[in-house]
Amino acid sequence: MARLGKHKIYTILDSHFDLFSRDFCGEGVPSFYAPAWNTLDHSCPMSLTGIMFSTFGQCKPFSSFNLPQGDDGYPDMEECFKRKFIDIYTAPEVASAYEAFW
């Protein structure tokens, strides 16, 4: 980015990542940034968002998707793509990982 700036080229860095990391069928941060599984929330939080997600049938634990692991130890991406993005995105473990990271 510094080299681009020297040439008057402005850069916008988008730290956007979906589903946090490969640990949750996503992409983004390397897995070593993902919190330990035993430190994550595995049930829907009693917050406005959590109650809303639960009301609409969301906020299901990640384990409820029964995703097989690939040879790399992560959830099999072919199986991940068969699930609705919003289902996994609203899993309490994903929200908990984001909260721990930020």
In a domain, 79, yes or no: yes
Tens digit of each residue's pLDDT (9 = 90 or more) over 84-95? 999 998 999 988
| Structural domain contains residue 97 | yes
Residue 56 within a domain: yes
CA 10 to each of CA 2, 3, 14, 44, 62: distance values in angstroms, whole numbers, following the listed order = 9, 10, 13, 41, 39
User: pLDDT-derived band of residue 15, with 50, 70 and 90 as boundaries?
Assistant: low
Q: What's the structural domain count of the chain?
A: 1
Provide the domain limits for residue 40. 16-101
Assess if residue 90 is contained within a domain. Answer: yes
10 lies in a domain?
A: no
Number of alpha carbons in the 13 Å side-chain half-sphere of residue 25:
24
Structure-model confidence comparison of residues 80 and 95, the more confident one: 80
CA distance 19 to 9: 31
